[in-house]
Structure 1
Amino acid sequence: MSDIDARIAEEEQRRKRLEGRISDYRTRIRELTTKVDTLLGQIDRLQQNEAVAGQELSLLELQRRKVQEDIAFLNAEMARERIKLNELVDRLQNRVVDMYKYGETEELNLLFGSASTFEALESLHLLRMLSRHDELLLMQLQDRMREMELSRRTMDDHRARLVKQGEALKAQRIRYRGSIQQTNNFIGNIRKQKALAEKAAREMEAAQKAVGHTILTLMRRKKEREAQAPQVKGRRGGGDYLAGRGRGSMFDWPVRGPITSAFGRRVHPIFKTKSFHSGIDISAPPGTAVAAAASGEVLFDGWLRGYGQVVILDHGRNYSTVYAHLSSTAVREGQVVQAGRTIGRVGKTGTTTGYHLHFEVRVGSEVKNPLDYLKR
């Protein structure tokens, strides 16, 4: 499998995972509440549509590159076949010229001019071989012509696919830009109305508290599973992944970059109202690898209201870390990961103004200032 084939397969898997997470998230929301008019809920839906459109755009662009590579390969292959075909045509033309010059009398002269019966038989054998060579030459020429025709048809099909993909790519870019504009228009409308901005800020604080509740629920379920099946081979649940790490150096930095929003009370960058910020925002370019701040078990991998795509790691001792606004994740719930392992990529899903990682440290459901736990 070529590199671009592998990337297409990877992007397709990523698209399926994203759609699965969004579907799970929407199912949970329907189960938890009948309210569908929350501002964060509408922002989430718009952001999810944007994320899916962006993922499909990436897939279409890769597929278009694949077809372009196939066309380039076919062009090179047809050029090689054309050279071989020309060589065969030249050989056949030379043979036809010889036959025209000497005609069939050449064969009779060769036979009657033989000094002995043995020499005549040998001459006949050579003539037969020459005839078979002529037949083989014609067959090779026909095979090359068939291969060239097949390559030409394949090339025509690829070019037609390229035109269709170009049209699909253009339409998808329009949809992607439209989904971004919808999100921006909606958030812009919230900013203009003080009452809506305050409501959205309250919803965001409620979403931060809901994460704590989610963590407690997941930890409780995890302990229940471990109690029911303690003999499962390879299970490492309940372990202390922070052994040898003190509070001031408990966690490594998940990404390197400037802190654009600190822990605690702040003016919300989107809603422009005062609210509590449950973590720190670390600015980084889109797609930057996000590393596990310490070894641990993946407690959650999915979508959370206001947080976008999220990974939550359980490190033991009741400590957990939250990584939010990811463009994609690279782990599964229940998976044990080592410190420094890539668990996702920097994005801007959820309620955010731009590309950064929202990073939280929690003890139980209680948020802590990450700077007190990150290595200096």
Structure 2
Amino acid sequence: MRHWTAGFLLAACLVSSLGAASQVSADAISDKIEKERKMLERLKDQIEEKRKQADEAGKKRDSLLQGLQTLDERLVQVRHANQDVSRKIRKKDQEIETINQQITKLQGSIRQRRDAILARLRVQYMEGRSGYWKTLLASDSYGDFQRRLQYLSAVSERDYALLETFKSDVNDMEEAERQRESARAGMRVYKQSTEKQLHEMSSVKKEKKVYLTKITQEKESSERALQELEKSAVRIDSLLRELEQRRRAALARPPVAGTQHRGVKGMLPWPVDGSVISYFGRQKHPTFNTYVQRKGIEIRASEGSLIHAVMQGTVVYADWLKGYGLVIILDHANGFFSLYAHASKILTTVGAQVTANQAIGETGDTGMTKENTLYFELREGTEAVDPMQWLTKR
């Protein structure tokens, strides 16, 4: 019995020890799994963060010229709003000038009628209260009495009309002065709006200047911007190739009345008044410190100068183009195309027929440029030609 009890106790101890060991082992495995789970979560977070950084980098890489265009769109919007307010100010000026002329005329009329009223009052004062009766009683006959009565009635009516006209002129004068004050109040509001918009324009211009400086000074950004500009240039080439194919297909059809002649070299009108700052061919880019093969010329002009069509033609493109700003392309139906870029405003629409020298836009500083310029290309088919050989010699 004693041996059995001792054996039982020994077995119980063994079982207890094994259970404890098993529990320790299970806890260790759970801890290890938990640690691995946390490590996996951290790894997933790191992967997600890297992915976000890669996405941001991709967006930044793809949005250099888009960011520039966004600034240009803001600037154009504010500039147009300012021009609209300026037109309203000019209209208010004209309105105030018209009211001033009306007031001046009324003042003269009031002075004349006031002098006439004062003259009548002096006469009545000199004649006294019985002056009316004296005139009637001085009649020699009934006929004379009737004539005197009619005369006095006419004088009385004239005096009454004079007073009524005087009062009407005074009322008109007061109304005109109220209108003038209202117009002046409107003018003050417009001027405040103009000051706000000019401040915003200045702010956006500074922001664009900083943006361009950053692009040009950072080598990686500069290279990316040039690559994007090349993509935009390729897009223009593709568009012109498509247009040229359409033109050739149209040659099989009967000629359209009024088809434009090819023109003579050195006889085309200039698209804008200004000075050429960048020429056709291999030129140093005005923004980047590198040489590029330019397919057109750049003309410095005053902001808002009118852009003119160099030949009659059809508008085939009138919209934003990354790096070039607001762009207009004309098909001249004679194998030539012309392109006008960096505009601040487009004054035509796609499909519109324009004549030579017709205003189609206004110059500006949209796109990859730091000053008010017009970038002008002339294409014979899809081949870029030197515009200087075709424009009128200066």
Instruction: Please state which band the TM-score falls in when normalised by the shorter chain.
Output: 0.7 to 0.9
Q: In structure 1, the residue corresponding to 2:332 is in which secondary structure?
A: strand
CA contact (8 A) 2:344 2:363 kept: yes
User: Residues 315, 68 of structure 1: CA spacing in aligned structure 2 closer, same or farther, 3 A cutoff?
Assistant: closer
Unaligned runs of 5+ in 2: 1-57
Q: Deviations over 1:170-194 (max 9, x none)?
A: 1111111111111111111112211
CA contact (8 A) 1:322 1:360 kept: yes
Aligned AA for 1:357? L
Q: Which residue of 1 aligns with 2:300?
A: 283
Q: Which residue of 2 aligns with 1:298?
A: 315
Of 180, 191, 202, which residue of structure 2 is paired with 1:155? Answer: 180
Q: Which residue of 2 aligns with 1:185?
A: 210
Q: In structure 2, the residue corresponding to 1:311 is in which secondary structure?
A: strand
Aligned residues: 334
CA contact (8 A) 2:274 2:302 kept: no
- Offset at 1:43? 0.6
Of 310, 321, 337, which residue of structure 2 is paired with 1:320? Answer: 337
Q: Which residue of 2 aligns with 1:346?
A: 363
- Offset at 1:140? 0.8
CA contact (8 A) 1:242 1:250 kept: no
- Offset at 1:202? 0.6
- Offset at 1:168? 1.1
Q: Which residue of 2 aligns with 1:65?
A: 90
Q: In structure 1, the residue corresponding to 2:193 is in which secondary structure?
A: helix
Aligned AA for 2:260? Y
Identity %: 27
Q: Which residue of 1 aligns with 2:23?
A: none
Bigger mean CA deviation after superposition, 159-168 or 191-200: 159-168
- Offset at 1:284? 3.2
Q: Is the counterpart of residue 38 in structure 1 residue 63 in structure 2? A: yes
Q: Is the counterpart of residue 362 in structure 1 residue 368 in structure 2? A: no
In 1: Cα distance, 2:273 partner to 2:111 partner: 60
CA contact (8 A) 2:273 2:305 kept: no
Compare relative contact order (CA 8 Å, sep 6+) and give the higher one, 1 or 2: 1
- Offset at 1:363? 4.2
Of 260, 267, 273, which residue of structure 2 is paired with 1:241? Answer: 260
- Offset at 1:50? 1.1
Q: Deviations over 1:11-66 (max 9, x none)?
A: xxxxxxxxxxxxxxxxxxxxxxx979521111111112112212222232332233
> Which residues in structure 2 correspond to 1:1-376 (within 5 Å)?
37-218=62-243, 236=256, 241-243=260-262, 245=263, 251-255=268-272, 257-371=274-388, 373-374=390-391
Unaligned runs of 5+ in 1: 1-33
Q: In structure 2, the residue corresponding to 1:176 is in which secondary structure?
A: helix
In 1: Cα distance, 2:229 partner to 2:340 partner: 16
Q: In structure 2, the residue corresponding to 1:190 is in which secondary structure?
A: helix
- Aligned-pair Cα RMSD in Å: 3.1
In 1: Cα distance, 2:111 partner to 2:358 partner: 57
Q: Which residue of 2 aligns with 1:3?
A: none
- Offset at 1:209? 0.9
In 2: Cα distance, 1:83 partner to 1:372 partner: 65
Bigger mean CA deviation after superposition, 357-366 or 42-51: 357-366
Bigger mean CA deviation after superposition, 252-261 or 356-365: 252-261
- Offset at 1:274? 4.1
Q: In structure 2, the residue corresponding to 1:316 is in which secondary structure?
A: coil
Q: In structure 1, the residue corresponding to 2:289 is in which secondary structure?
A: coil
In 1: Cα distance, 2:108 partner to 2:392 partner: 65
CA contact (8 A) 1:39 1:200 kept: yes
Q: Deviations over 1:175-231 (max 9, x none)?
A: 11111111111111112211001000110111011112223445667889x79xx89
Aligned AA for 1:54? R
Aligned AA for 2:261? L
Aligned AA for 1:360? E
- Offset at 1:240? 5.1
Computing the radius of gyration over CA atoms, which structure comes out larger, 1 or 2?
Answer: 2
Q: In structure 2, the residue corresponding to 1:115 is in which secondary structure?
A: coil
In 2: Cα distance, 1:357 partner to 1:189 partner: 23
Bigger mean CA deviation after superposition, 288-297 or 166-175: 288-297
Q: In structure 1, the residue corresponding to 2:302 is in which secondary structure?
A: coil
In 2: Cα distance, 1:167 partner to 1:300 partner: 37
In 2: Cα distance, 1:70 partner to 1:257 partner: 36
Q: Deviations over 1:324-375 (max 9, x none)?
A: 1123344333333343444333332222122222111234444344445556
User: Residues 107, 183 of structure 1: CA spacing in aligned structure 2 closer, same or farther, 3 A cutoff?
Assistant: same
